[in-house]
Amino acid sequence: MPHTVTRPNLYAPRTRPMAEMNVTPFIDVLLVLLIMLILAIPMPVNVTPVDLPSGDPPLLPIREKNTIAIGADDNLSWNGNTVTTAGLRAQVAAASAMDVPASLLFAPDALASYDKAARTIALMREEGADGFAFVGNEQHRNF
């Protein structure tokens, strides 16, 4: 007996509806709309500059003449008040930012380390102190 092969009829109506949906065109349309939305959003043109404070605010009063001293134990002081390096940085920046910059007098102790004095001078220059004077040079006369 010969074997018969049955072929499905491609033109016959289906008995049940197709349950799968092709979402590729839907995704393509959404991507195009997203790109159009991104291009349509205007770039910020009106930018308001805001000056934010930097560093610590000066805690000690700023006089017309201010003395920055380094003790024998390498402690910094502003007009006789002990300050940290960050505090001194804030004080020098505030003194330099005044309309008429305050005078800075630098008075290192004879036994203060050279490294601390050099770093303090660099700190004053970094914070905008255009000029300062050395006080007490006579104590360095004898080595």
Whole-model pTM: value is 0.56
Distance set, CA 130 to CA 102, 110, 138, 139, 143 (Å)? 10, 25, 24, 25, 30
Q: 14-23, 53-62, 93-102, 128-137: lowest mean pLDDT where?
A: 53-62
Q: Is 33 exposed, middle or buried (0-12, 13-18, 19+ CB in 10 A)?
A: exposed
Give the integer Cα–Cα distance in Å for 46 and 32.
Answer: 29
Q: Where are the domains of the chain?
A: 73-140
pLDDT digits (tens, 9 = 90+) for 25-73: 999 999 999 999 988 988 777 778 877 766 656 677 777 888 899 998 9
Quick one: CA torsion of 90, 92, 98, 101, rounded to 10 degrees? Answer: 180
pLDDT digits (tens, 9 = 90+) for 2-33: 777 777 777 777 677 667 788 899 999 999 99
